[in-house]
Amino acid sequence: METMQHQMMGYDRTSTMFSPDGRLLQVEYAKKTVKQGSSAIGIVCRDGVLLVADKRINEPLVVPASVEKVFQVDEHIGASASGILSDGRILIDRARLLAQQHRVTYDEPMDTASLVKDICDIKQQFTQFGGARPFGVSILFAGVNSEPELFLTDPTGIYFQYKATAIGEAENEIKEVLNKEYKDTMDLNEGLKLAVRALKKVLGKDFDIKRIDGAYIKLDEKQFRKFDTKYLAKIIK
């Protein structure tokens, strides 16, 4: 009821206008957009970090391989987005550019946390200046520098580091599974099995291997690699 009153008074017409109780309604709407996106999971393991996401293919004539939900940012960094994926693509392209510029300038791979901070600075700008809406996307960044790391960024420009987390429509249900079953001692195989179990639980009869997109970065290799479909099928069994 209170939000409706704020809407009628016009406090949600721009991302730069605070409501009387100190809220930016356009930014809150952007966070709700993320909750409508398909789910993505990130898990830090003792030997690396992984990302697993639901492609949510709703049309039978869509070619599954053409739908990408997990993206390579640099040799040692990957990302997955939930919400408005076109917004995510723009930010991930910017992250790729920043990572390459860092390599050229300093002749070393960019630290994952520094990259996440730069992307969140861009997100925050779109909550502060008029004439543009906030980015309606949350992004999981997974990378390996000296150790495996996982970061979550939301539409406000805030970021947090996690051992395991999820974004998207079923994030609460998936987080329940992660809270109960995640262990620091997990390896990548065990982490993948946990992520697949969580997706199976929330998708139920709609679960299909063709809907799964995933990648991992091993601690000793520091190389982004996609999960092979045959390997995923073996894990699912």
Element (H, E) at 233: helix 229-236
Domains of the chain: 35-56+67-236 (3.60.20.10)
Say if CB 17 and CB 11 are below 8 A apart. yes
pLDDT tens over the chain, length 237 residues: 566 666 656 767 777 788 888 888 888 889 899 999 999 999 999 999 999 999 988 788 888 888 899 999 999 999 999 999 999 999 999 999 999 999 999 999 999 999 999 999 999 999 888 778 899 999 999 999 999 999 999 999 999 999 999 999 999 999 999 999 999 999 999 999 999 999 999 998 888 888 899 999 999 999 999 998 888 888 776
The two tokens of residue 74 are 């640099």
How many other C-beta atoms lie within 10 A of the C-beta of residue 111? 17
Pure H helices in 36-183? 85-106, 112-125, 171-181
Cβ-Cβ contacts under 8 Å for 85 (sequence gap 6 or more): 37, 69, 137
